[in-house]
Amino acid sequence: MGFSTDAIHAGQIPDPTTGAVITPIYQTSTYAQHELGKSTGYEYGRTHNLTRQALENNIATLEKGKYGIAFASGLAATHALMSLVKAGDHIIMSSNVYGGTYRLYELKLKNYGLEYSWVDASDTVNIENAIRKNTKMIFVETPTNPMLILTDLKAVSEIAKKNNLISVCDNTFMSPYFQNPLTFGIDIVLHSTTKYLNGHSDVIGGMLITSNEKYHERLRYIQNAAGGVPSPFDCWLILRSTKTLAVRMKQHEENARAFAVFLSKSGAAKKVIYPGLKDHPQHELAKKQMRGFGGMVSADFGSIEKAKKVLNNVKIFTLAESLGGVESLICHPASMTHASVPKEEREKIGITDSLVRFSVGIEDIEDLIEDFKKCAIFKT
């Protein structure tokens, strides 16, 4: 099936009781059992929920995987992933991941005996060089947030296979519409469904997708055992949203591309970062492993004053954390999404105080460009 057909239909059948075309919100904590020891297969809401199952099967299909395991947030999924390793194990991380991922792993879970190495994964030789005897997992985010640096997914999966490691990719920025890491041999895909998959800025959610039976079994177990599950209503909202993922992503990309081209020609920014621009250092890799370049654009305005002028005066772009919704958002990574990363670490990876990140929405592009023009300082 094509992507849009899967997005609309996969995982969902008309409700057997009424024929309802849309999967109902099974808002129940428990299920009546026929007799002692004989249930319908559904026993307790944390363990089984049909709305959640429909969502898991839907997103698993879009990611070309067999299993989806849903969580109450992207970070709950990020946390659950660590149930695949144990104290004394070593994990190789691409530096410049989502700030909350860094906070959870480096500032919290390290205290439980897990070891993390943060490497520049844009050159996969750095990953190979970081492998130790106790390495168990490679976790990459591509493109990264907010520097939009890419990692070669095929190379990562080959390194992982050769060294018997679990490979993971946070695919939040591309969404399954533009990139399917499992097709390059990556073992597990992670999503903050809060972003493009839900796309309407009204749900927090997360998902892990895999085709590996063993990892699925362990992650399914921890989903129930630790219990970080999403509500049936949130699952229903995301399921509603994935139906339009294809049309939304097309428009996000068209707008982001036009906005990036405008920005780089405008002279307002010192540097514009977008994988779809020919001057992006990994433009060729982007064309190879992605089917599009996404809706995120970052720009360094050279000084905090110039950045502030844009951040504080735009009207259609809303100053807010998060990304991937139909409405355009603007954010200051150094003080917002990446505030928990120490300043030296931040600057090392390019997150300067003058860097601004745009989540380009699906409004009329002319309006977005006008909005920016009204508040930016242009060189004369």
Ligand X SMILES: *Cc1c(COP(=O)(O)O)cnc(C)c1O
Is position 94 an interface residue for ligand X (rule: CB under 6 A)? no
What residues between 314 and 373 interact with ligand X by CB under 6 A?
none
Which is catalytic among the residues 152, 170, 187, 234? Answer: 170
Cβ neighbours, 10 Å, residue 181 = 30
The correct pick among 194, 264, 328, 354 for binding ligand X (CB under 6 A) is 194
Alpha-carbon distance of 221 to 219, in angstroms, equals 5
Active site residue 116: no
User: Does 200 contact ligand X by CB under 6 A?
Assistant: no
Please say if 170 is a catalytic residue.
Answer: yes
Q: How many residues bind ligand X (CB under 6 A)?
A: 16
Residue among 52, 79, 90, 195 that touches ligand X (CB under 6 A)? 195
Which of 52, 195, 346, 357 is catalytic? The answer is 195
Counting contacts by CB under 6 A, is residue 142 touching ligand X?
A: no
- Interface region with ligand X, contact rule CB under 6 A, candidates 55-63, 169-177, 179-187, 243-251: 169-177
The residue at minimum Cβ distance from ligand X is: 74
Between 60 and 80, whose beta carbon lies closer to ligand X? 80
Of 8-16, 33-41, 71-79, 360-368, the window that binds ligand X (rule: CB under 6 A) is 71-79
Distance CA 206, CA 198 (A): 10
Task: Answer yes or no whether residue 73 interacts with ligand X by CB under 6 A.
Answer: yes
Using the rule CB under 6 A, is 93 a contact of ligand X? no
Of the residues 15, 31, 42, 46, only one is catalytic, namely 46
Q: Which is nearer to ligand X, 98 or 301 (CB)?
A: 98
**Neighbouring-strand partners of residue 189:** 169, 209
Q: Which is nearer to ligand X, 71 or 268 (CB)?
A: 71
253 part of the interface to ligand X, by CB under 6 A: no
Closest CB to ligand X among residues 1, 107: 107
Nearer to ligand X, 128 or 327 (CB): 327
98 is catalytic: yes
Burial 105-126 (b: 16+ CB within 10 A, else e): bbeebeeeebbebbbbbbebee
Catalytic residue among 26, 98, 196, 215: 98
Stretch that binds ligand X, among 87-95, 98-106, 239-247, 299-307 (CB under 6 A): 98-106
Q: For residue 288, indicate whether it is catalytic.
A: no
Of 73 and 122, which CB lies nearer to ligand X in the complex structure?
Answer: 73
Estimate to the nearest angstrom the gap between the alpha carbon of 62 and the chain centroid. 14
SS3 sequence, the chain? CCHHHHHHHCCCCCCCCCCCCCCCCCCCCECCCCECCECCCCCECCCCCHHHHHHHHHHHHHCCCCEEEEECCHHHHHHHHHHHCCCCCEEEEECCCCHHHHHHHHHCHHHHCCEEEEECCCCCHHHHHHCCCCEEEEEEECCCCCCCCCCCHHHHHHHHHHCCCEEEEECCCCHHHHCCHHHHCCCEEEEECCCCCCCCCCCCCEEEEECCHHHHHHHHHHHHHHCCCCCHHHHHHHHHHHCCHHHHHHHHHHHHHHHHHHHHHHCCCCEEECCCCCCCCCHHHHHHHCCCCCCEEEEECCCHHHHHHHHHHCCCCEECCCCCCCCCEEECCCCCCCCCCCHHHHHHCCCCCCEEEEECCCCCHHHHHHHHHCCCCCCC
Which residue from 7, 55, 62, 75 is in contact with ligand X, where contact means CB under 6 A? 75
Q: Please, which residue, 208 or 269, has the CB nearer to ligand X?
A: 208
Q: Which amino acid, residue 144?
A: T
Q: Which is nearer to ligand X, 124 or 145 (CB)?
A: 145
Counting contacts by CB under 6 A, is residue 145 touching ligand X?
yes
74 binds ligand X (CB under 6 A): yes
Contact flag: residue 98 with ligand X (CB under 6 A): yes
Residue 292 binds ligand X (CB under 6 A): no
Given the rule CB under 6 A, which residues bind ligand X?
Answer: 73-75, 98, 100-101, 141, 145, 170, 172-173, 192, 194-195, 204, 206
| Catalytic sites, residue numbers | 46, 98, 170, 195
